[in-house]
Amino acid sequence: MLELASKVEKLKSIIRDQKVGILFPGQASQYKSMGTDWYNSSKKFKEIFDYINSKIISDYREFLDSDLFGILEDEQKINVTLYSQISIFSVSVACYEAMKETLEQVYHVLAGHSLGEYSALVCSECISIDDGIDLVVKRGYYMHNYSKDGTMFAVIYSFDSDSILLIERLVSQYNSVVANYNSYSQLIISCSLEVVEDLKGIVKKEFPGAKIIPLRVSGGFHSYLVNQANEMLKNEIEKVVFKKPRIPIYISSERVDDPVTIKELMKEQMIKPVNWIRTIENISKECSVMIEILPNRVLTNLCRKGFPSNIASISYSLEDI
């Protein structure tokens, strides 16, 4: 309790009189026992987390064979798409609600990285928490079970506009795409299993010194390779009522407040690239501080290592505060 109180006081000093952008992490932010300290220290965090867990137990046994506590304590399960998405969403939403209640702060904008956009939709009250749970559970299930023909790998390199255009042209020759523009030092490629080794080789050849990191994923996300999963989720999104966000929200790298537009963008989110570079650059024009919600510090590290100093210097993670 004392540690959480200390974090809150430090956070207050960071955001005081600032325009604050809240960033919600996506897949790959998960880790074993994430959020445990907050669960044990914050009544609100526990309330929200337990509510999501109860919904999973009562309504989603056909999709998940474990509750949230079982997932969080299982080193293997938590790194599987089927389980990682709902666990990250649960920790993020519970963390936001706990922080909001404690700080009584009205945030300037919300944004999420891929999966994190669902957390942002719920926390902005654009969709209900029940609809958020439903969509995230099914998103993880569809992506895990209907995305078997593709894969992803990260390219670590010092990119600029010209080299980004070059790698886009290069991967397109292999019917592949840049799926995530994470920062100027990290791009993620989605490709078919058939071409992955050849594509890695040509990237290394054309970008001397680049580091290639295979990702442990169930498919080639944010590309045509997950069309089947996207069509299935699109049918679920169509059933959901979207409202105007109570707090401004970024979807697909732009500030959007029209619920019809948001809904249409979310229908294509799984197959469209994540342009996190543009998202962060746009947010930094209107916010003087960016705070990454639990879990982990992936987005903060991207900002600090792959963006100019004016962005790196205003980026914070709740994990580090």
pLDDT block averages, 10 residues each, the chain of length 321: 78 91 96 96 96 98 97 96 97 94 80 98 98 98 91 97 97 97 98 97 96 92 96 98 97 97 98 98 96 97 97 96 88
Output the pLDDT for position 233: 98
Question: Exposed/middle/buried for 275, CB within 10 Å: 0-12, 13-18, 19+?
Answer: middle
Output the pLDDT for position 216: 84
Strands 315-317, 289-292: pairing is parallel
The Cα–Cα gap between 255 and 266 comes to 14
**CA dihedral sign of residues 239, 240, 242, 248:** negative
Strands 289-292, 211-214: pairing is unpaired
Strands 289-292, 150-156: pairing is unpaired
The residue whose two tokens read 């990454």 is: 292
Output the pLDDT for position 242: 98
Output the pLDDT for position 4: 78
**Pick from 56, 42, 162: nearest CA to 102:** 42
Output the pLDDT for position 1: 57
| CATH numbers and ranges of domains, the chain | 2-147+223-317 (3.40.366.10), 150-214 (3.30.70.250)
Output the pLDDT for position 107: 77
